[in-house]
Amino acid sequence: MPGGNRRLPRTVRNSIPSMMSAYGGDISGNRYAALGAAVPTLPVLEQPAAPKHFPFPNTPVDDDLFFETLMFAFTTISGGLQFLHLYRTVWWLPHSYTRQALNFYLIDLNLVVFIVILLSRRLVYIIGCRILDKFISPKFQEIAYTCHRLILFGIIFSLLSWCAYYVIQSHPIVNILYLCYPILVYLILFGCKISSFFELINWNSSTIPPLHACRLNACEVREEVENLKTNFNNRMKQILFSSVLNAYYTGFIPCCFAQNHLYYDVYWATQHVIFIFLSSFVAYATHILSLRYCDILHRSALHLGNWDKLETRNMLLVNNNWNEETLWPYGALVKHGRDLYRAQGECNASEPGNTTFSRFYTIFKNPSFSLSILLSLHVAMVFLQLVLLVRSIVWYNIVSITFLLFFNYYILYKIGRDYLVSSKMYEEERAMHNKINLH
């Protein structure tokens, strides 16, 4: 009523103190006016200090040459095992017509050469780069790498075309679409860049390297996050494409070119394709998204911060409109558009309502959580393979699962080690930040 004292509803009165305490002060203290006296307003904000980072321990990372050798061996043997699933024989029977484990005469040799050439491209490229490093001056290495890529691409393209021509001679012409389908996917993801065909991680002098600098300028922080986000997305595209490519050519293509009258276990062949994809995905993710790289993204996320949208914008008189050049402290309340937001993190350079920045902060504020998901996926796959191994009674299935298990044990060791290191590291860091926020 006019002239009388208005009492706020119970639900509104109960929600105000929790919002105020998130800023770091009490509603009855000197930061805010008492609720019964006037509508609360915000004090003058202070410039927040930069988040403190823990020095990250040195964790071993596989050399690129070793990793590509490992992946080449894994994919070629996996492809051979898929041919084993398709063309195995009953050579152990007393009156068997053959003494060989496979019906080699049914396998198209040109198709096998096509697959091996495609899978070996990165290994051959890295060996060539190592040779160039020994004989070329560092200032000419980038030009030498470019020439090396162009020459190698021309050779590989010629060999693949030659193999594809002879494959068409003995198979329906529509099958050539199966061989060339990944080319369309590559063009969609990477365009006409040859470097992505040979390199897992592309870098040259014209690109910005994925580095972090402790900045006190909000615009520079957001610019750094944009660069790191683009770099991370490019790496994820490479992980997904390489994993799909390995599973496609080593598991799916042999089935596509199998004879129509050939009988094989479709369930087991499909399962083998899925295992190749999952194993490749975890292996590439562990190698490309190393702990050191994820820590760079984590440090940038701490500087970026995040905003929580509040639905009680009519309760407070907020004097602070969001400014793109301002670093906001923990718990600050700002207006952006018609909404009210509360700052999260020790400092906040993010834009309220920007889903890209919110997603970046959510993923990388604690990289060990993403690692735990990847570790859980890999453990589940290894456990499933162990169950299949115990239940298998056919020799070629036992050989196939055993090989996949040996490879996945090594990847499991790497990702398990990374998770233990990162979880302990970021747990200590969170405890330190919580202690700082309490003060």
Which residues, 6 or more positions from 330, have their beta carbon under 8 angstroms from its beta carbon? 23, 24, 48, 343, 344, 345, 346, 347, 348, 437
Work out the mean pLDDT of the chain and round it to a whole number. Answer: 83
> By C-alpha distance, which of 358, 172, 160, 346 is closest to 259?
172
Domain ranges of the chain: 64-262, 304-363
Per DSSP, the residues of 224-289 read HHHHHHHHHHHHHHHHHHHHHHHHIIIIIHHHHTS-TT----HHHHHHHHHHHHHHHHHHHHHHHS
Percent helix, strand and coil across the chain, each rounded to 5?
65, 5, 30
Cα separation, 38 vs 339, whole angstroms: 22
Three-class SS state of 436? helix
Q: Tell me the per-residue pLDDT of 201-252, one tens digit each, with 9 for 90 and over.
A: 876 555 667 777 777 788 888 999 999 999 999 999 999 999 999 999 999 9
pLDDT score at 33: 39
pLDDT surpassing 80 at residue 421: yes
Per DSSP, the residues of 151-205 read HHHHHHHHHHHHHHHHHHHHS-GGGHHHHHHHHHHHHHHHTT-SHHHH-SS---T
Structure tokens at 203: 């870098």
Which residues, 6 or more positions from 217, have their beta carbon under 8 angstroms from its beta carbon? 325, 327
pLDDT score at 68: 96
Q: Tell me the per-residue pLDDT of 336-348, one tens digit each, with 9 for 90 and over.
A: 888 888 888 788 8
C-beta of residue 165 within 8 angstroms of C-beta of residue 121: no
pLDDT surpassing 90 at residue 260: no
> By C-alpha distance, which of 381, 390, 387, 369 is closest to 409?
381
Structure tokens at 123: 């290994």
Q: Tell me the per-residue pLDDT of 22-54, one tens digit each, with 9 for 90 and over.
A: 344 333 334 443 444 444 554 556 666 677 777
pLDDT score at 89: 80
Structure tokens at 433: 């930040």
pLDDT score at 226: 92
Most confident of 293-307, 308-322, 327-341, 380-394: 380-394
Helix (H) or strand (E) holding 18: helix 10-23
pLDDT score at 37: 42
Cα separation, 202 vs 180, whole angstroms: 24
C-beta of residue 146 within 8 angstroms of C-beta of residue 118: no
- The residue behind tokens 């990944």 is 182
What mean pLDDT do residues 69-84 have?
A: 96
Helix (H) or strand (E) holding 334: strand 333-336
pLDDT score at 276: 97
pLDDT score at 253: 95
C-beta of residue 389 within 8 angstroms of C-beta of residue 398: yes
Q: Tell me the per-residue pLDDT of 350-371, one tens digit each, with 9 for 90 and over.
A: 898 889 999 999 999 889 999 9
Per DSSP, the residues of 358-383 read HHHHHHHSSHHHHHHHHHHHHHHHHH
Cα separation, 408 vs 282, whole angstroms: 9
Q: Tell me the per-residue pLDDT of 186-206, one tens digit each, with 9 for 90 and over.
A: 999 998 889 899 998 876 555
Q: Tell me the per-residue pLDDT of 110-153, one tens digit each, with 9 for 90 and over.
A: 999 999 999 999 999 999 999 999 988 888 888 999 999 999 99
Three-class SS state of 39? coil
Most confident of 2-16, 218-232, 268-282: 268-282
For residue 292, give the amino acid letter.
Answer: R
Structure tokens at 255: 């089935």
pLDDT score at 16: 38
C-beta of residue 325 within 8 angstroms of C-beta of residue 218: yes
Structure tokens at 230: 């683009």
Which residues, 6 or more positions from 8, have their beta carbon under 8 angstroms from its beta carbon? 35
Q: How many CB atoms lie within 10 A of CB 365?
A: 19
pLDDT surpassing 50 at residue 281: yes
> By C-alpha distance, which of 339, 338, 340, 361 is closest to 350?
361
What torsion do the CA atoms of 356, 358, 360, 361 make, to the nearest 10 degrees?
160
**Torsion sign, CA atoms 374, 380, 384, 385:** positive
pTM (2 d.p.): 0.84
Greatest CA span in the chain, whole angstroms?
108
Cα separation, 110 vs 376, whole angstroms: 39
